[in-house]
């Protein structure tokens, strides 16, 4: 049986750059990232099945009633959800799985999968966060204000997470996340038992929880 992979949840307020950080993390590592479903309309350049699975509200609600999501949330008037079966299949086959989701979703995942690794991405300052949301140029004035106000409230959930990473320079943030993942893989409570093979002088890691 394969050692199960880690479930790594990367989350934080809109505009902290978690998407950019995840992209850079995947460029350098062999992790598997879950593609979410959403009822939001595609932005220019977004491809169905790569950026998201773009669904109608009816399709999304059907999937909710079929219990197809690991978690889902309404974020700024649209639904977003993590398809469940694929994520579980990948973890069980030993892949380390990344979820890049909002805070409501991360807290729901934590209720059911407390063994996950929960990483909160913080902006270097609230001023910088405002600049980043504005510079993205994808939001209306009203949506900008909503996202910014929401970010203020969301930072209060930091204490529910295992780790905080400030995204000032993307490369530094990625280095920190890689270190977190490496440390998590070495945690004694993730390893059921280690056997010292006295003949060979080897230590074998056995099944993870
Ligand atoms: P955007 O519309 O900018 O792509 O995403 C808006 C927010 O939804 C971001 O904070 C993003 O991380 C979050 N999000 C994306 N996919 C999911 C998901 O599957 N579940 C939840 N709860 N949030 C998601």
Architecture of domain 7-34+96-207: 3-Layer(aba) Sandwich (3.40)
Using DSSP, state whether 37 is helix, strand or coil: strand
Mean pLDDT by runs of 10 across the 209 residues of the chain is: 89 93 97 98 95 98 98 94 97 96 97 96 92 79 84 94 97 98 91 54 52
Q: Give backbone dihedrals phi and psi of 189, rounded to 5 degrees, phi first.
A: -75, -5
Ligand 1 pocket test, pick from 18, 55, 80, 103 with the greatest ligand atom count within 8 Å of Cβ, gives: 80
Give pLDDT, residue 146: 85
What is the CA(46)–ligand 1 centre distance, in A?
A: 14
**Confidence at residue 54, expressed as pLDDT on a 0 to 100 scale:** 98
| Helix H or strand E segment including 59 | helix 57-65
> Residue 209: what pLDDT?
42
Assess contact for 98 and 5: CB atoms under 8 A.
no
Cα 206 to Cα 134: distance, rounded to the nearest angstrom? 49
pTM of the full structure: 0.91
Q: Which of 140, 121, 109 is nearest to 21 (CA)?
A: 121
The predicted structure's pLDDT at residue 190: 83
Q: Where are the domains of the chain?
A: 7-34+96-207
Q: For residues 82 and 99, is the Cβ–Cβ distance under 8 A?
A: yes
Q: What is residue 208's predicted lDDT score, i.e. its pLDDT?
A: 46
């Amino acid at each position: 049986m394969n050692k199960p992979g880690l479930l790594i949840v990367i989350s934080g307020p809109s505009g902290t750059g978690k998407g950019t950080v995840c992209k850079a993390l995947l460029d350098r590592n062999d992790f598997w990232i879950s593609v979410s479903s959403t009822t939001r309309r595609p932005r220019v350049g977004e491809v169905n099945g790569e950026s998201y699975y773009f669904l109608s509200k009816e399709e999304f609600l059907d999937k909710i009633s079929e219990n197809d999501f690991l978690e889902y949330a309404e974020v700024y008037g649209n639904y977003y959800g993590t398809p469940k079966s694929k994520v579980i299949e990948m973890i069980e086959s030993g892949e380390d799985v990344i979820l890049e989701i909002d805070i409501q979703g991360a807290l729901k995942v934590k209720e059911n999968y407390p063994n996950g690794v929960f990483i909160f991405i913080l902006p270097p300052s609230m001023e910088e966060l405002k600049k980043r949301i504005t510079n993205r140029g994808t939001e209306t004035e009203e949506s900008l204000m909503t996202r910014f106000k929401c970010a203020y409230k969301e930072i209060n959930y930091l204490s529910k997470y295992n780790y905080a990473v400030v995204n000032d320079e993307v490369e530094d943030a990625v280095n920190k996340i890689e270190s977190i993942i490496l440390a998590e893989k070495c945690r004694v409570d993730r390893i059921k038992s280690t056997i010292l093979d006295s003949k060979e002088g080897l230590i074998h890691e056995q099944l993870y929880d």
